[in-house]
Structure 1
Amino acid sequence: MKRLYVYGIVGATSFDDPLPNGHDEASVFALVSGDIAVAVSFVERSAVEASAANVWLHDNVLSALMTRYAVLPMRFGTIAVGATQLLEGIVKRQKQLMKDLMRLNENVEIALHISGKNWEKVNQKVTKKNTDQAITQGTAYLLGRQQSLYGSDKTQLLVQNVRRAIRSGLDPLMKDVIWPIDKPQALPFKASCLINRNDVASFVQIVNDIAAQNLDARVTCTGPWAPYSFVGKSGVEGET
């Protein structure tokens, strides 16, 4: 039985240029609903394995679409039974989808990772104790206590300083940002940043500069990615 593998929702009614093939070497095509389309390809299975090659293929199709159109990415492995079912869901959410497409047009997601260098060393020691049978209970307790401290009080000032540096340097480039809200002063943490695709090089350079100035912190970024974190939601700001 043929099903539809869904890559994303696109602010276009046709795909003018050829796209990379989808899963099973199938062509990617547009299912049109009003002023938007769903990028899909046929698959003859009910699930696609989350292997590195398959995830890369999914992202490769999205990357090609994002160079030409506004795109709302779908999570890897999204499969619809048929076109009718898929389009019914699109029609119900058409207004919100159009708003999201306008907001995310020409924007990409960058993942910003912040961790403490001392925390990483402690974490490695604590992880090692699980496989090192010779370690004493007292040493294990002290390492665990040290790890706990690096995840709480000991890191609050470091986290605040790094976040202020990030806000000062990157705010002009960020369209939206999602900070962690469950443990906003703990390390390590990750922030999701929405920026214009043309600002990626500048963003990376500023992150490298911040990392060089904060010797006790490890600040890195990955991407650009399709803006998964910003589909249907706005960023949540924590206090700095």
Structure 2
Amino acid sequence: MSTNPAGNTGGGPSPRYVFAPAETVAVPVVGSDALFPVHRIYCVGRNYAAHAVEMGHDPDKELPFFFQKNPDNLSIGDGEFPYPPRSSDVHHEIELVVALSGGGKDIPLESAMDHVFGYAVALDMTRRDLQAEAKKLGRPWEVAKAFEHSAPCAPLVPASQIGHPTEGAVWLDVNGERRQTGDLNQLIWKVPEMISYLSSMFELRAGDLIFSGTPSGVAAVERGDRMHAHIDGIGALKVTVA
């Protein structure tokens, strides 16, 4: 809803803001000069069984749960990840991103994929020490997950080009050494299930991104480390810790 000093929402003068609104955050699209405008970022927690176990949870007993990052947490394309303040234990988490071109409430499972625009490779960078403290105190995770530059993301690949991958190797190297390995077929909650379940709690919209969870092998990075993330059929992302 737009803000209008005159009190009307259409047909009147243009809104006059107290300062210039922030620019729309957008992700480039492979093979196009068009941009994908981002509305919200939802992240699925512990969506690979091995990662759930390494984090001390039983993947057979949990419904999916979600947390959020902010659109302006995105860093687009290869580049640098500035090591964040107030942490000495920052972890990498490679993730498949699902980009939505449509939305709604209570989306049926059988039509969930109709809302998918495309996919990308991304990193959910996490201040693990702050997350552990938040868990211990029963507090939200924003300080651990939604900090500046916490979501490096490659350009989106449209589903019209690659279809809807249900399998493919997922891996991340740090300084040429393999850290994380998995496969898209190991997702506990598949893409249509994520969309349908999430839409029962939020009204999804075009422009939403869903970070779909990470395989096992998450670990700390240090300044100067070079991360190389890859998902078969989707693409790659190379990020240096600055």
Question: As a proportion of its length, which structure holds more strand?
Answer: 2
The structure, 1 or 2, with the larger RCO (C-alpha pairs under 8 Å, 6+ apart) is 2
Common fold by TM > 0.5: no
TM, length-normalised to structure 2:
0.22
Question: As a proportion of its length, which structure holds more helix?
Answer: 1
